[in-house]
Amino acid sequence: MAPPSATLRRQLASLLVVRGSGHGRDSQRRYPRWELPNAELRRLLEQGVGGVILLGGSAEELRLRCEQLRRWAGQPLLLCADVEEGVGQRFEGASWLVPPLALGRLHGTEPGRAEQLAERYGRCTGRQARLLGLNWVLGPVCDVNNNPANPVINVRAWGDTVPAAAALAAAFVRGCQAEGVLACAKHFPGHGDTSTDSHLALPLIPHGRQRLEAVELPPFQAAIAAGVASVMTAHLQLPALDADYPATLSEPVLTGLLRRQLGFTGLVVTDALVMEAISAAYGPAEAAELAFQAGADLILMPADAEAALDGLQRAVEAGRISPERLQASLERRQRALAQGPGQASDMPLGTLLTQLEQLVSPQERQLGAELLALSLEHSGAAPLPPGPGVNLIRLDSQLNSPQLPARAPALLRPAAAGYQARLLDGHSPSPWSGDPQAPLALERLGEGPVLLQLLVRGNPFRGSAGGDEPWPAVLHQLLAAGRLAGLAVYGSPYLWQSLRPLLPPQLPAAYSPGQMPEAQALVLQRLGLEANALEGGFTD
């Protein structure tokens, strides 16, 4: 028997996870298209919506925001964030660690050390998430990044080999959940081998079950064996498993493969249903119903929360979703909530301030430094030639860039050496000459030697970051003109690997998988640019 309508709607609402800003005010939302305004968010929480995925804001703001959302809801909530690279990746002031793939690389030579570091990585992320009010970390990425052209997984993966991805994802789960915070293995059944971005279109994975069992599934199996509390679905077409539906909406994938074959008993959550891969083909009610019928417990970021609720309610009332099936999802959610801190707490302000002051522990600071040091690569001999020169920085966007605050070492250290910053992003006047042999219009940039700093992630030559920009030709051009002073690459190992062989052996060059100011400090140190008092330091 289905419960009465009002109760049913409240139960279904608890299985929705909507998106909000970590900032307190509507005007501060970074992505207003997706982040609900406060009035709507509050109304949905009062109606029983059971989870919120948060983005944006500082550690302090997030701490207050989580408290506010729990008060609005009046019940325990699942509060989560995509903090795959430490809580500081999304919330300023917490630890922002180098991307997981750095440890995947280390695993090839020092598997034990890599696993131990991945577990500390998970502990750091879980502990800081808990202190700030989150009880659910949307990581680890369990995809094997075996396709360097992958525009969306890339350095987010824990490995480009199966053993690394499996061992390190499991280690992250152990660490995170030891702190009482739920982890989430994603994106099931494996998003590594695609060059399509599912934010834009539905990628197709042509592999059959045998290949999946050899490559894609082992990291998920390892995470499940480590007790991972949740698994997130992928928006991928896998014709060998389901001819009709993408994985997120596929019963053979979610119930057949994940629940029955892999024996997963925890929470299954969809990836964001608002993504084009789903929303271009399915309405919000249809997508929610199909996902739930396929085996998902939680519906993440429906394109329209009310419509998704309507769809689910109609499906239960019409018997297309059984009361038992609904009950099972509700119970899984309750079990998960019982594992983590979910209640609003009326702690005194003094206690809260002390907690915030202790947000980053000395051990976590040390972990961040160790990860940076082990993943640094460099060649050539410092220092750079003396300025005046040009500090040419390529980045995705200068607007509100967490990589490039005004005090970033990438700006301040070259400035102190006489190199004037020229920043290129998608909004810049063109720096290109139109000549493929000498693509940079150097006269638009300034005189003297050029320090080239590339902040590029994703695939540099086919993905979005870096676009089709001719960096190899630029290196040749600058070398031919005798104007290449040094090279710094932050982010993509594939870009670094493609450029490094083009450099003369003595030319100062360095790479870090991290793009944060601490990574810049370390890379530029290698290029002979010392710390600058204006940076303000990284300790507290």
- What residues are annotated to the active site? 199, 271
Q: Binding residue for a copy of itself (CB under 8 A) from 7, 46, 71, 178?
A: 71
Instruction: State residue 338 phi and psi, 5-degree precision.
Output: -65, -20
61 binds a copy of itself, rule: CB under 8 A: yes
Phi, psi of 439 (to 5 degrees): -65, -30
Q: Does 352 bind a copy of itself (CB under 8 A)?
A: yes
CA atoms of 52 and 40, how far apart (whole Å): 12
Query: How far apart are CB 534 and a copy of itself at their closest, in Å?
Result: 5
Indicate the residue among 221 and 515 with the shorter CB distance to a copy of itself.
515
Residue 2 is classified by DSSP as: P
Query: In the block, which residue shows the tokens 């609005």?
Result: 72
| Binds a copy of itself (CB under 8 A): choice among 404, 451, 489, 524 | 404
Q: 67-102 burial string, b = 16+ CB within 10 Å, else e?
A: bbbbebbeebbbbbbbbbbbbbbbbbbbbbbbbbbb
- Contacts of the segment 430-434: beta carbons below 8 A, 24+ positions apart: none
Q: Does 68 bind a copy of itself (CB under 8 A)?
A: yes
- Please work out the total of residues on this chain that contact a copy of itself, with binding judged by CB under 8 A: 68
Write the single-letter amino acid at 409: P
Q: Which one, 255 or 525, has the nearer CB to a copy of itself?
A: 525
Contact status: 533 vs a copy of itself (CB under 8 A): yes
Choosing from 67, 306, 370, 377, the residue that interacts with a copy of itself (CB under 8 A) is 67
Residue 62 or 296: which CB sits closer to a copy of itself?
A: 62
- The DSSP element (H or E) to which 173 belongs, if any, is helix 162-178
Based on CB atoms, which residue is closest to a copy of itself, 334 or 428? Answer: 428
Indicate whether 28 belongs to the interface with a copy of itself (CB under 8 A): yes
The answer for 212, left when phi > 0, alpha when psi is -120 to 50, beta otherwise, is: alpha
How many residues in total does the chain contain?
540
Are 505 and 529 in contact by the 8 Å Cβ rule? The answer is no
Contact range with a copy of itself by CB under 8 A, out of 22-30, 78-86, 109-117, 476-484:
22-30
The verdict on 362 binding a copy of itself (CB under 8 A) reads no
User: What are the backbone angles phi and psi of residue 447, rounded to the nearest 5°?
Assistant: -95, 160
Tell me how far apart the terminal alpha carbons of the chain are, to the nearest angstrom: 58
Q: Which is nearer to a copy of itself, 220 or 490 (CB)?
A: 490
Whether the CB-CB separation of 70 and 341 falls below 8 Å is answered with no
- Which residue, 32 or 227, is less far from a copy of itself as judged by CB? 32
Q: Under the criterion CB under 8 A, does residue 27 sit at the interface with a copy of itself?
A: yes
Binding segment for a copy of itself (CB under 8 A), chosen from 247-255, 340-348, 447-455, 507-515, is: 340-348
Identity at 39, one-letter amino acid code: A
Q: Are 201 and 277 in contact (CB under 8 A)?
A: yes
| CB closer to a copy of itself, 59 vs 299 | 59
The Cα 128–Cα 355 span in angstroms is: 10
Piece of the chain touching a copy of itself by CB under 8 A; list 44-52, 232-240, 330-338, 528-536: 528-536
The answer to whether residues 154 and 492 touch, using CB atoms and an 8 Å cutoff, is yes
Element (H, E) at 335: helix 323-339
Tell the smallest beta-carbon distance from residue 344 to a copy of itself (Å).
8
Of positions 19, 23, 120, 207, contacts a copy of itself by CB under 8 A: 23
Site membership for a copy of itself, residue 59 (CB under 8 A):
yes
Q: Is 37 in the site for a copy of itself (CB under 8 A)?
A: yes
Closest by Cα among 135, 67, 47, 73 to 344: 67
d(C-alpha 7, C-alpha 446), whole Å: 68
Q: Give the contact letters, 90-129, x = binds to a copy of itself (CB under 8 A), - = no.
A: --xx------------------------------------
Task: Using the minimum distance from each CB to a copy of itself, give the nearer residue, 37 or 283.
Answer: 37
Closer to a copy of itself by CB, 208 or 388: give it: 388
Q: Is 308 in the site for a copy of itself (CB under 8 A)?
A: no
Closest distance of CB 524 from a copy of itself, Å: 16
CA–CA dist 23, 470 (Å, integer):
38
Give the gyration radius of the chain's Cα atoms: 24
Exactly one of 155, 421, 478, 529 binds a copy of itself (CB under 8 A); which one?
Answer: 421
| Binding map of a copy of itself across residues 424-453, x = CB under 8 A, - = no contact | x--xxxxx---------x-xxx--------
By the rule CB under 8 A, 458 interacts with a copy of itself: no
Distance in Å, CB of 64 to a copy of itself, minimum: 5
Contact 97, 158 (CB under 8 A): no
Contact call for residue 4 and a copy of itself (CB under 8 A): no
Burial of 506 (0-12, 13-18, 19+ CB in 10 A): exposed
397/497 with CB nearer a copy of itself:
397
Element (H, E) at 187: strand 184-188
Exactly one of 2, 3, 10, 26 binds a copy of itself (CB under 8 A); that residue is 26
Question: Which of 534, 530, 535, 537 has its CA nearest to residue 382?
Answer: 530
Q: Name the minimum Å distance from CB 26 to a copy of itself.
A: 5
Omega before 189 within 30 of 0, i.e. cis: yes
Q: Which residues bind a copy of itself (CB under 8 A)?
A: 23-33, 35, 37-39, 57-61, 64, 67-68, 71, 92-93, 345-350, 352-353, 356-357, 397-401, 404-407, 411, 421-424, 427-431, 441, 443-445, 517, 533-540
